[in-house]
Amino acid sequence: MKRDIPVVPSDASPQEILRIAVGAVAGPVKLACSFSVEDVVIIDMIRELGLEVGLFALDTGRLNEETYEVADAITERYRIPIDWFFPRHEAVEKLIREKGQYSFRESLENRHECCHIRKVEPLGRALSGLAGWITGLRREQSVTRGELAPIELDELNGGILKINPLLEWTEAQVWEYAKERRVPTNRLHRQGYPSIGCAPCTRPVAPGEHPRAGRWWWENPEHKECGLHRR
């Protein structure tokens, strides 16, 4: 069922966006957490605002050990359960058996196939029954995110609300909040990883490189999405 998009002021803070959006949704809302600094900042805001928002994560089977460490730190700090969703093991086994462990580096089509199996299909199950979901997307992260809105209808997932409270924040603003609030952060961030995904598809970036340069570094910038945020 499609929902009306609540109006937010153009200068609304992330907290205001969260309050307005969650308050307008007649149904459950969850944060899609990849355990990036953005996602942990949003978790902290949600708890400070006292909003009834759940949390889910996608375990692709190829996450970094450091990602699991920060997931445990979040559970310890905020006492909030994490709903984990996993890819269908039959699909993963078939992919690896037929194409090997690294088929995603051979072509864009193969990479999309891997992302669909490990991320997109589990996301569909995670969003089932929700009235809205929250992301840590920011406009400056990628050329593919320039047309996003703080609150929008997710047409590809049943017309539920998609809430992007940090959309207009810079990386510096995110880290300022994280340091001030002393939120748990993935230690890979301190090792040159501004963006963290699956281990084989993520590497540290050099000083001056774009923050998303370390994601699928063999592809052009306009292709650097996994399919979770299709438009």
| pLDDT, tens only, 211-230 | 888 888 888 776 555 556 55
- On whether residue 126 sits in a domain, the answer given is yes
The pLDDT score that the predictor gives to residue 20 is 97
The pLDDT score that the predictor gives to residue 35 is 95
Q: Which domain holds residue 135?
A: 14-190
Active site residues: 226
CA end-to-end distance (rounded Å), the chain: 18
- Name the pTM for this structure: 0.89
Q: Considering its fold, how many domains does the chain have in total?
A: 1
Q: What angle do CA 118, 183, 134 make, to 5 degrees?
A: 45
| pLDDT, tens only, 82-141 | 999 999 999 999 999 999 999 999 999 999 999 999 999 999 999 999 999 999 999 987
The pLDDT score that the predictor gives to residue 24 is 93
Q: Among candidates 194, 164, 177, which has minimal Cα distance to 36?
A: 194
Tokens matching residue 60: 């692709």
Question: Looking at residue 88, which CATH number applies to its domain?
Answer: 3.40.50.620
What's the mean per-residue pLDDT of the chain? Answer: 91
| pLDDT, tens only, 141-197 | 765 555 789 999 999 899 999 999 999 999 999 999 999 999 999 999 999 998 899
Q: Checking phi first, is residue 227 left (phi over 0); if not, alpha (psi -120 to 50) or beta?
A: left
Q: Checking phi first, is residue 64 left (phi over 0); if not, alpha (psi -120 to 50) or beta?
A: beta
- On whether residue 111 sits in a domain, the answer given is yes
Sheet of 160-163, strand order? 83-85, 54-58, 29-32, 132-134, 160-163, 151-154
- On whether residue 9 sits in a domain, the answer given is no
Q: Is residue 1 very low, low, confident or very high in pLDDT (cuts 50, 70, 90)?
A: very low
- On whether residue 8 sits in a domain, the answer given is no
- On whether residue 55 sits in a domain, the answer given is yes
Q: What are phi and psi of 193, to 5 degrees?
A: -110, 90
